[in-house]
Amino acid sequence: MSNEASEAGRPPAVHVAPDVDTVAAELAAAFIDAARSVVAERPFFVVLPGGKSPMPFFDCLVSNHRDRLPWNRVRFAWSDERWVPAADQDSNFGLARRRLLEPLGLDVRQVACPVATDLETPEVAAVEYERQLRQHWAVAEGRPDWVLLGIGGDGHTASLFPRRRVASDAWVLAVEDSPKPPPRRVTMTWTAFRRSRQLHIVATGTAKASAAREARAAALDLARFPLHGARQCEGEVHWWLDQAAAAEGDGRG
Ligand code: 6PG
């Protein structure tokens, strides 16, 4: 079994496109296909990443797929959140609200389940977020349908960083020492991500090439490579790379 295969023995699907815009277009088409197969029966539960990587995907959904889905049947949660107000420019929820939810004309109160960063502490918000996710996802056997994760050049994903606390039985954790500012965050864990029916990881640009390669090919080491958690995924795993991020390294890692 290759290093990349999940516990179920299913290797990830690796999609390589020439450029960022083509990655976004193909990822958006896959999202719409997955959502359309569900929304007739129940809401479609999505987990969005933070950072800049999902922006071309958001823009493609708004410009090319506005009429392809009953969008009010989609429910959005976030893989992680910075400990800032929702109106702050660094808020992952705020970014998705500005670039996806509002341009689609959605009632954010109906479709979005953001982390409550106005609570007392990240610890309190983490416990509350897990309670909300368990409540929201109950109609889907407690599993999200479609999770999208980004990757940092150091191999982190969500707010799970190398050689930091990554493994936990909790679905959501507080983070106080993020190497990527701001230091205080709330993050879902692999205990939640692994439950997804489809897990998608997007990596574009040369800065992500080494981390994307290690995440797929290195021997299992969750502490060193947080994305190795994808190998625990109960559902399908898909990598979405442009040529730059898919480039094979010179072997020096
Ligand atoms: C965050 C994200 C983080 C992000 C990666 C990639 O809160 O910053 O959750 O995990 O996905 O750092 O960031 P970019 O997409 O901006 O390169």
Tell me, what's the pLDDT at 3?
Answer: 64
DSSP letter for 168, please: -
Q: What is the structure's pLDDT at 5?
A: 66
CB atoms within 10 A of CB 172: 26
Å from CA of 150 to ligand 1 middle: 6
| 78 C-alpha to ligand 1 centroid (Å) | 12
Fold of 13-249: Rossmann fold (3.40.50)
CA of 217 to the centre of ligand 1 (A): 21
For ligand 1, residues with CB inside 6 Å are 49-53, 79-80, 82, 92, 150, 152, 156-158, 180
Distance 196 CA to ligand 1 centre (A): 19
Pocket mutation for ligand 1, best pick of 82, 159, 173, 200 (most atoms within 8 Å of C-beta)? 159
Residue with the smallest CA separation from ligand 1 atom 11 is: 150
Name the residue with the closest Cα to ligand 1, atom 2: 50
pLDDT tens, position by position, 93-131? 999 999 999 999 999 999 999 999 999 999 999 999 999
Nearest atom (ligand 1) to Cα of 82: 7
> Atom 15 of ligand 1 has which residue's CA nearest to it?
53
Ligand 1 atom showing the smallest separation from residue 159 Cα = 10
pLDDT, position 249: 66
**Cα 208 from chain centroid?**
16
3-class state of residue 74 by DSSP: strand
pLDDT of residue 1: 41
State the closest ligand 1 atom to the C-alpha of 79, by its place in the atom list counted from 1. 9
**Angle, CA 91 vertex, CA 147 and CA 117 arms, to 5°:** 95
C-alpha 166 – ligand 1 centre gap (Å): 16
Task: Specify the residue for token string 């039985």.
Answer: 169
The pLDDT of residue 9: 62
pLDDT for res 190 = 97
| Residue 202, both tokens | 């997007």
pLDDT at residue 166 in the model? 78
Q: DSSP letter for 160, please.
A: B
Residues 6+ apart with CB under 8 A from 26: 15, 17, 240
Please list the ranges in the chain whose pLDDT falls under 70.
1-9, 249-253
- CA 60 to ligand 1 center in whole angstroms: 19
Tell me the domain boundaries of the chain: 13-249
For 52, phi and psi rounded to 5 degrees? Answer: -90, -20
pLDDT at 250: 54
